[in-house]
A and B are shown apart, each in its own frame.
Chain A
């Protein structure tokens, strides 16, 4: 079934077993993002250690795509430098905009390539990007705080 491209095993696993889904109290920045078209919400915190991402932690309600994507993103980006995280995020955004024409590079995106199928369902791309956009926002805030 074509739907299986969207709901890959990895996605359902992350949905049932979300990673880093406990908000920490000592974040450098914390943001709240919503998807106004469907009501999905995510609160996401970032803690930096110099230039490195020490922690991404979050809480939220939403569909399997938004929840799994946030979970996968947090797993993938923790431990990376801010520059690396930005490059990976851009890769992911590019994949989401590919309308199903790309599979994604597993060396860069790891589990996130499982979300490639989302790019064929325009209404769901925002779901997949919710957590990533929250991370982008939080990491910029955390970084500017660090610089002060």
Chain B
């Protein structure tokens, strides 16, 4: 008899505990999402403004460009038309099998 009551109490206890935990979870979940987003934002901002930014500024100091934007604008503005072909040499033919395992 006692044993049965004891068992019932435990079941009830677990049930209540679950309810409390769920209530805490429902409050914490949106908060944790916000925190995750904020951390994400901070990390990505650091990577962008320090990582990408430093490399970008340093390379630009040496006159390096990563996209050919200026060339086009200059060609369009100065001459109106440039007569150079913009097709780029890029011969692609069959390679040895190993080459295709590369993701670059």
The answer to whether A and B interact is no
Binding site for B on A (CB under 8 A): none
Binding site for A on B (CB under 8 A): none
